[in-house]
Amino acid sequence: MTRSIELVSRETPAPMGEEMLGVVREVNLGLGMEEALHNMVRRIKSEDLDLMVTAISIQQSVGGNLAEILDTIAFTIRERVRIKGEVNTLTAQGRYSGYLVAFLPIAIAGMINMISPAFMQPLFTKTIDQILLVVGGIMMAIGSFAIRKIADIKV
């Protein structure tokens, strides 16, 4: 197993090759393969790498066909990326609705202020109107945040 990781460290471009070389170094210094791989997962913080290292650890202790296991993991990662792309495509309308909810009232107020400043002037002079502007801004921010949370689907 160490030889294959050493080969991967030489053949893989940076930064992954350097991380694999770090695993080889840790193993050569006496650390166990499983612990060295888990140290790499802690440094990189990738769900996909964690899945791969967990599968390798289980395969080492239980046995089985590592090539088949890694092929299944590669398929799972590819499907996750594909589904994430589809979800982003399907939720794009919701995300842009959130931007529209947030910025359209500001743009309309700016345009009205440019066209007829006298029409907008009372909105900025009275205290109650200023309070209503702040409340409206807070409500727009809450609406935008809610739409963003609804459209943010974790895959």
Q: What is the pLDDT of residues 36-53, one digit of tens each?
A: 888 999 998 888 889 888
Q: Does residue 80 sit in the same domain as residue 47?
A: yes
Q: Does residue 32 sit in the same domain as residue 58?
A: yes
Phi-psi region of 127 (alpha: psi -120 to 50; beta: other; left: phi over 0): alpha
Q: Does residue 12 sit in the same domain as residue 34?
A: yes
Q: Does residue 12 sit in the same domain as residue 77?
A: yes
Domain finish residue from 64, 87, 110: 87
| Per-residue model confidence (pLDDT) at position 8 | 72
Total domains in the chain come to 2
The pLDDT confidence band at residue 1, using thresholds 50, 70 and 90, is low
Average pLDDT over residues 23-29: 87
Q: How many CA atoms lie within 13 A of 89 on its CB side?
A: 6
Helix (H) or strand (E) holding 123: helix 117-125
User: What is the value of pTM for the model shown?
Assistant: 0.62
Q: Does residue 110 sit in the same domain as residue 54?
A: no
93-146 per-position pLDDT tens digit: 888 888 888 889 889 989 999 999 898 888 888 889 889 989 998 998 898 888
Give the structural domain span for 25. 2-87
Q: Does residue 9 sit in the same domain as residue 83?
A: yes
Q: Does residue 99 sit in the same domain as residue 48?
A: no
Distance CA 21, CA 19 (A): 5
Distance CA 149, CA 62 (A): 42
Token pair for 70: 């890694």
Q: Does residue 111 sit in the same domain as residue 81?
A: no
| Per-residue model confidence (pLDDT) at position 57 | 86
Amino acid code (one letter) for 93: Q
Phi-psi region of 45 (alpha: psi -120 to 50; beta: other; left: phi over 0): left
Token pair for 124: 């900025």
58-97 per-position pLDDT tens digit: 888 888 888 888 899 999 999 999 999 998 888 888 888 8
Q: Does residue 81 sit in the same domain as residue 98?
A: no
| Per-residue model confidence (pLDDT) at position 79 | 93
